[in-house]
Amino acid sequence: MPYVVSDVSRGSRLDEKNGKSYNFRTDYLNIIQEIKNGDYVQFLISKFAEFYGTRLSAYPNSGPCTMAIIASEIPNFRNLGFRSVKCIYVMPPSYVEWMRRIGGVRTADLLGRIDEARQSILMAIDDDSYHFVLNDVLELAVRDVQAIIEGTEVNQHRSQLAHDTADILLERIGDNL
């Protein structure tokens, strides 16, 4: 399934590749001009003054696609005119595994990532249209995502495990930093 590659102005993390994970940009004046030209379907400036945006040309001409999106932007994204938007929250299998996975994040970014996760989980839990997928075994997670996209029956046990993991993760990171 095509992945929509967004433009970002933040630095890349250890496991990210330019042009594949994101288009990493530092040409701020060009970004501003491209916004004025209407090149972006959507964009935002994060609370850390980082630009995130997707160009119309990044989307496939037809059919489904996937992309990472900051959860606070989901309501705006739903209003962009797409035929459908399915929100899937992919959960790590545990708090310990999540901390291991984000362990490569720059120290300066870690509190922001934790706060973003807290806000995103709260939003997903409060929105019945979100689907939770447990990212413990890649093949099973992919199967769950495919079932959600195709509208076929989702493994309810795995979905509940993912939702429970969200509750546990939220409990561990707290309601406030």
Which stretch of DSSP H or E encloses residue 129?
none
With tokens 């970004």, the residue in question is 31
pLDDT tens for residues 4-40? 999 999 888 778 899 999 999 999 999 999 999 999 9
Which residue is it, tokens 């990212």?
Answer: 135
pLDDT at position 134 over 70: yes
Q: How far is 107 from 8, CA to CA, in rounded Å?
A: 19
* Distance from C-alpha of 23 to C-alpha of 34, rounded to nearest angstrom: 14
Contacts (Cβ under 8 Å, ≥6 apart) of 88: 130, 131, 132, 133, 145, 148
Q: What is the mean pLDDT of residues 144-156?
A: 93
Domain boundaries, the chain: 7-78, 88-173
pLDDT at 105 over 90: no
pTM across the whole model? 0.80
The helix/strand/coil state of 175 is: coil
Task: Report the interhelical angle of 107-126 vs 156-173 (nearest 10°).
Answer: 130
Architecture of domain 7-78: 2-Layer Sandwich (3.30)
* DSSP H stretches of helix in 49-106: 74-78, 95-101
pLDDT over 60 at 177, yes or no = no
* pLDDT for residue 93 is more than 70: yes
